[in-house]
Amino acid sequence: MKEKIQHLIEEVRLVSISTAEDLEQFRIHFQGRKGILNGLFEEFKTVANEQKKETGKILNDLKTVIQEKIDLFLLESEPNNEKPVSDLDLTRPVNYMEPGPRHPLSIVRNQIIEIFSRIGYTVAEDREIEDDWHNFTALNFPEEHPARDMQDTFFIEKNPDIALRTHTSSVQIRTMEKNKPPIRSIFPGRVFRNEVVSARAHCIFHQVEGLYVDKDVSFRDLKQTLLYFAKEMFGESTQIRLRPSYFPFTEPSGEMDVSCNICGGKGCNICKYSGWVEILGCGMVDPAVLENCNIDSEIYTGFAFGMGIERITMLKYQIKDLRLFFENDLRFLNQFKGVI
């Protein structure tokens, strides 16, 4: 029987299958119900036990050779017998992208928004390229007035003047033009001034201004709102003080200091040994500004305040150089990982 199988193996190797009919005949001949393989397996049952191992092995070889012949034909007769090209490689390491941390200015901006939303302030934003009316004139900066020199900026067009806004107060004007009191909003955004870039000044920075206009709004409301903000931002033990100041759009105007949160008021180099650091400007909205926005200043009063987000961030995180915010240096930015 071994010789017979050996011959069959040789025979199968020589067979050439070139058509589907050839294949079908080959299959029936060898693998059919009454085909050669089945016959041999029947015969195998009668093989003496001591022969079984060896005979079984070559019988399996025959079975394999037959199947390989069929597989080869099937592979070669595929319409496109090139292996499909795929760049899928499941063994490659993944492209791991580490999520970046939030920018410190965004962190503080969001904190400020959150603090004021808790007492009912909505958020309004508007354009960065502004006309003269909304950036200056409506805010009581008459043309040729020296106060305009305090806020030199980058002009895009002259007569009529179009410029990069110098403060987000322009959004206060737009909000008052569009809405009737009561108005209670904050205005975060990027602003521009023609300043020499240094550790303490930049030609780009960010502000959050706030405005509350209603009947009977007083300076007392302003002070309480700012005290609430200072405690929420810098801690429960924070104190505030207000010093008289001047802005064209508020009367009276003030600047607010908070007790130094680094030394607790004892004096350090951050607060220049005074125990206080200045963080914002504020005041009662000048009646002329209300009238410019068609709000009756005999009925309504309001207060406004404005702060630089950079300044608050520098105090909160003890950052000494303003330029770090704009350099995109990962050694700086990665220090804010995990801060939300």
Binding site for Zn ion (CB under 5 A): 260, 262-263, 268, 270-271
**Cβ at position 275, least distance to Zn ion in Å:** 6
| Of 261 and 301, CB closest to Zn ion | 261
| Of 192 and 234, CB closest to Zn ion | 234
Tell whether omega for the bond before 287 is within 30 degrees of 0, i.e. cis: no
| Of 170 and 261, CB closest to Zn ion | 261
| Of 101 and 267, CB closest to Zn ion | 267
Cα-to-chain-centroid distance, residue 292:
38
Residue positions counted in the chain: 340
**Cβ at position 318, least distance to Zn ion in Å:** 11
| Of 203 and 268, CB closest to Zn ion | 268
Cα gap 42→36, rounded to integer Å: 10
**Cβ at position 269, least distance to Zn ion in Å:** 8
CB 110 within 8 A of CB 54: no
| Of 58 and 277, CB closest to Zn ion | 277
Which phi and psi (to 5°) does residue 274 adopt?
A: -100, -20
**Cβ at position 273, least distance to Zn ion in Å:** 7
Q: Which of 332, 339, 250, 246 has the alpha carbon at shortest distance from 288?
A: 250
| Of 102 and 231, CB closest to Zn ion | 231
Place of tokens 């607790």: 264
Q: Which residue is nearest to Zn ion (CB)?
A: 260
Instruction: Count the Cβ atoms, other than its own, within 10 Å of residue 227.
Output: 16
CB 303 within 8 A of CB 226: no
Beta strands in the chain (DSSP E): 122-123, 129-131, 155-157, 162-164, 183-192, 204-214, 240-247, 250-259, 276-285, 301-308
Tell whether omega for the bond before 252 is within 30 degrees of 0, i.e. cis: yes
**Cβ at position 311, least distance to Zn ion in Å:** 15
**Cβ at position 277, least distance to Zn ion in Å:** 7
- DSSP per-residue letters across 203-237: SEEEEEEEEEEETT--HHHHHHHHHHHHHHHH-TT
**Cβ at position 238, least distance to Zn ion in Å:** 12
| Pairing label, strands 122-123, 183-192 | parallel
Report DSSP state, residue 200: S
Q: For residue 43, what are its two tokens?
A: 């015969």
**Cβ at position 280, least distance to Zn ion in Å:** 18
**Cβ at position 263, least distance to Zn ion in Å:** 3
